[in-house]
Amino acid sequence: MKIRFWFIGILILFFQKSTFARKHSLKSISEIRSSTHNLELITLLNVINQRKRSIIAFVKDRYGDQFCIKQYRADNPKVHFRVVREVLASHVAVAAKIPVSRARVIPPCVAFRGKFLKGRPATLHTFVFGEPIKNVDMFPQNFQLKQCWEPYLTQRGLTRSIIQSMSVHPVLPAIVAFDTFVSNTDRGISNLFYDQKHNTFIGIDHEMSWRRPYDTNLSELAYANMCKLCKNGLLTLTNKELKALKLFNKKLKELIRANPPEKLCKLTDDLIAQIDFSKDKFSIEAYKFFDVEGYINKFKHRIFQQYDSAQKLVRLLDTLLT
């Protein structure tokens, strides 16, 4: 009797594990990519075509798993490079077990159901269930996690209000730490989903990462804010906020450890190769006068700079939080 019970238990565990592994191991994404010549296995479910910047398509593979394909309307090197930012950032988050949509490159030359603009790169994302938080009214009124606003606003970086917001759920400090590490300035209320069924948050849309708008980076902003908070004797965080800040610091350290800039630059090169980011491959006019190499070098320089800033930030937080 006992043996039968154990046998059934192990069988259930095995099946649960294999379904889980298939859904979460990226296997379905690589399968969907390898089946690009087998487009009949992919069903187009829906297309959002009225967006100004991008076309979003939803597809389903033969397992019934859903994906989302994103393509930008504009056709120039900087826009093509967003694919690199998006996929690199997603890779960093997924490796650190931070809940975001997983992204892959669909190279320009690859035909894919739901990819409408031929000869241009696109991104393929795992479908995120739930609702963008702008449609969910169960969070506090000033709940928001976007760390970078227009330059004339003083409330930028990791503010008290963001610390307060990220203390609402244990997964949020990790998402904010990820945004800070990659300098994702676009964690608006449309780019954070809440899945009520599993009570979790999931991030999407990371194309603004390592972009340094307004000549700033999120770790530097957070550093300046933390210094101000201390100098003015205002480090009067509640226990809940303090706990969230500690989780933020812990996750930021993990991200630093796992992503040395040299590794990220190497990954960048791999992604660049996938999008054919070079003058010879694209015949469009915009590439003729574009310094491809200079652009890539600046991007890599920013990876190094932001990495240093993140290290500086954790050193400060370590002293503040002990």
What does the binding site for ligand ADP look like in residue numbers (CB under 6 A)?
51, 53-54, 56, 68, 70, 101, 125, 127-128, 132, 190-191, 204-205, 207
119: left (phi over 0), alpha (psi -120 to 50) or beta: left
Residue number, 78 or 263, with CB nearest to ligand ADP: 78
- Interaction between residue 209 and Mg ion (CB under 5 A): no
- Interaction between residue 101 and Mg ion (CB under 5 A): no
DSSP secondary-structure letter at 128? Answer: P
Is there a contact between 72 and 90 (Cβ–Cβ < 8 Å)? no
- Interaction between residue 90 and Mg ion (CB under 5 A): no
Quick one: which of 179, 205, 207, 220 contacts Mg ion (CB under 5 A)?
A: 205
| CA nearest to 254, candidates 181, 198, 309, 162 | 181
Distance of CA 99 to the CA centre of its chain: 9
Residue number, 81 or 307, with CB nearest to Mg ion: 81
CA distance 87 to 73: 18
Is there a contact between 123 and 52 (Cβ–Cβ < 8 Å)? no
* Burial of residue 220 (number of CB atoms within 10 Å: 0-12, 13-18, 19+): buried
Using CB under 5 A as the binding rule, the residues of this chain from 261 to 300 that contact Mg ion are none
Residue number, 207 or 254, with CB nearest to ligand ADP: 207
Residue number, 70 or 80, with CB nearest to ligand ADP: 70
Minimum CB separation of residue 56 from ligand ADP in Å reads 4
- Interaction between residue 86 and Mg ion (CB under 5 A): no
- Interaction between residue 28 and Mg ion (CB under 5 A): no
Question: Nearest residue by C-beta to Mg ion?
Answer: 205
Residue number, 70 or 307, with CB nearest to Mg ion: 70
CA distance 86 to 141: 29
Chain positions contacting Mg ion, by CB under 5 A: 190-191, 205
